[in-house]
Amino acid sequence: MSDDPWTDPTAEVWARGILRNMAPKMADSAVAVSLYPQDGTTGDVKYWVELGAMICMDKPILVVAMGDAVLPRKLELVADKIVRLPDGLSESGSQQLADAVVAFVQEHP
């Protein structure tokens, strides 16, 4: 067995799934909405891959931070807009997010 985890058959299947499913959908979208993981201190590989794809595809990025999440400084630099929802997806938070997404899409046709 190789020491390189990317040569593992399950990693290859996962990578093909990303290329076959996530990448084309993202390529077809005008903007990207990034829901920052609630616990940003632990590794979220799916989030990292999606965020990297957003950056590499030069997508306008709307980052959504729930509660009192502290965003990494470099994430704040690459985000075109940040929406903070202190109360999460409460009724008012949901409306704030919906309004922000509509405005963001209109700004980036």
Please identify which residue in the block is written with the tokens 């058959």.
Answer: 9
CATH number at residue 32: 3.40.50
**Contact call for residues 65 and 84 (beta carbons, < 8 A):** yes
Structural domain span for residue 30: 5-107
The mean per-residue pLDDT over the stretch 24-28 comes to 96
**Contact call for residues 50 and 34 (beta carbons, < 8 A):** yes
Stated pTM of the model: 0.88
**Confidence at 41, pLDDT banded by 50, 70, 90:** low
pLDDT by residue (tens digit) across 55-104? 999 999 999 999 999 999 999 999 999 999 999 999 999 999 999 999 99
What pLDDT score was predicted for residue 32?
Answer: 97
Number of domains in the chain: 1
